[in-house]
């Protein structure tokens, strides 16, 4: 049996001549392949480093994503219902099960067993994706049409900013697929993104603004967050228990690190290629109490 050594965010289990990688939970963020650049870009939180770029069979544009410790599902978007499945341990991209409706400019949010995609271009519709068996089903309906929205949440519910240049949010409870109005954000959002942990979500307003809002789940309290270092538009984010990495997009390689404790913002390591002004989606391999 070979000797396997753990290195950084990686370890491995040995079985005969094969080594199955075991990742440290919350060690990786992944930015789904964005329009014009059919690759998935991996970010290592502990090292503040861009680690690798895995080729994808198709680029993603205005799609959403959900993820847990082992895998992420992202939608190609832009009028396509096709999904891709990314496995964190092997950096492998496979064709996923298509959604029942084609999202145009949606978002995704979930827990360790599955998630919900806002269809957006189809108004109030949503789809549910269960990891076990790769099952897709119709989800609950939002209180108003979603358009260029964003979402973050806990293991039991997701907070969906409906976008469409409004401050409106909805609370989607996974058990029972019930939807109710949430607390309004401080600023209207469109083409933004969201990231968070088990206690708070951070929403970047997009719309060429540096503005953010924090949504504290206990008490449904919304407050102004710390401004980003650059105006964000059509951006994307991935995070772990302590921080969120926000790709500013807007056709730049700029990345920001938002530390939840203290609401501090700093520049993070830049992307290797600037995304066009068409947001893709971010995923991470586990957030304690949410997706792991």
pLDDT at 186: 98
DSSP state of 230: S
Judge residue 263's burial from the number of C-beta atoms within 10 Å of its C-beta, 0-12 exposed, 13-18 middle, 19 or more buried: middle
Q: What pLDDT, on a 0 to 100 scale, did the predictor assign at position 206?
A: 92
Q: What is the pLDDT of residue 37?
A: 61
Structure-token pair, residue 18: 């094969």
Question: What's residue 51's pLDDT?
Answer: 86
Q: What is the pLDDT of residues 24-52, one digit of tens each?
A: 999 999 988 665 566 788 999 999 999 87
Locate 220 and state its tokens: 């449904």
SS3 content of the chain, % helix, strand, coil (to 5): 0, 50, 50
Could you say which residues of the chain have pLDDT below 50? 1-8, 10-15
Q: What local confidence, expressed as pLDDT, does residue 122 receive?
A: 66
Residue with the two structure tokens 């957006």:
120
Q: In what order do the strands lie in the sheet with 212-216?
A: 193-196, 200-204, 212-216, 221-224
> What are the angstrom distances between the C-alpha of 149 and each of 17, 47, 113?
46, 30, 22
Residue appearing with tokens 């900013």: 161
d(CA 127, CA 281): 17
Whether the CA torsion 273, 250, 148, 175 is positive or negative: it is positive
Residue 90 structure tokens: 């092997």
Instruction: Give every strand in the sheet of 80-87, ordered side by side.
Output: 65-67, 71-77, 80-87, 92-95
Chain segment 45-84, per-residue pLDDT in tens:
999 999 877 767 666 666 789 999 999 999 887 778 889 9
Tokens 């600023």, residue located: 187
Q: According to the model, what pLDDT value does residue 157 have? A: 98
Query: In angstroms, rounded to a whole number, what is the distance separating the alpha carbons of residues 177 and 268?
Result: 36
pTM of the model: 0.91
Tokens 């690759």 found at: 39
Tell me yes or no: is domain 28-284 CATH 3.10.290.20. no
| Cα–Cα distance, 51 to 112 (Å, whole number) | 24
Q: The tokens 């050594």 sit on which residue?
A: 5
* Residues listed for the chain: 292
Which pLDDT belongs to residue 5?
Answer: 31
pLDDT for 105 equals 78
Burial of 278 (0-12, 13-18, 19+ CB in 10 A): buried
Q: State the CB neighbour count (10 A cutoff) for residue 81.
A: 18
CA 134-181-210 angle, 5° bins = 85
Task: Output the six-digit token pair for 292.
Answer: 């792991």
């Amino acid at each position: 049996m070979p000797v396997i050594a753990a290195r950084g965010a990686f370890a491995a289990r040995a079985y005969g001549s094969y080594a199955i990688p075991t990742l440290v939970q919350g060690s990786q963020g992944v930015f789904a392949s964005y329009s014009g650049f059919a690759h998935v870009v991996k970010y290592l939180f502990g090292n503040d480093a861009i680690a690798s770029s895995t080729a994808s069979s198709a680029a993603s544009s205005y799609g959403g994503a959900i993820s847990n410790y082992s895998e992420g599902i992202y939608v190609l978007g832009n009028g396509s219902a096709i999904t891709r499945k990314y496995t964190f341990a092997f950096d492998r991209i496979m064709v996923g099960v298509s959604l029942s409706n084609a999202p145009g400019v949606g978002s995704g949010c979930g827990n360790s067993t599955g998630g919900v995609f806002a269809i957006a271009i189809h108004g109030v519709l949503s789809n549910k994706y269960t990891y076990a068996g790769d099952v897709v089903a119709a989800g609950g309906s939002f209180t108003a049409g979603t358009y260029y929205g964003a979402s973050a949440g806990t293991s039991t519910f997701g907070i969906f900013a409906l976008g469409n240049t409004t401050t409106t949010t909805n609370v989607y409870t996974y058990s029972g697929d019930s939807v109710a109005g949430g607390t309004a954000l401080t600023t209207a959002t469109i083409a933004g993104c969201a990231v968070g942990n088990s206690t708070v979500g951070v929403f970047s307003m997009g719309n060429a603004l540096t503005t953010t809002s924090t949504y504290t789940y206990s008490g449904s309290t919304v407050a102004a967050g710390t401004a980003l270092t650059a105006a964000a538009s059509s951006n994307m984010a991935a995070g772990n228990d302590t921080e969120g990495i926000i790709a500013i997009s807007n056709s730049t390689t700029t990345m920001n690190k938002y530390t939840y404790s203290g609401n501090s913002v700093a520049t993070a390591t830049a992307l290797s290629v600037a995304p066009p002004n068409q947001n893709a989606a971010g995923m991470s391999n586990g957030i304690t109490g949410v997706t792991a």
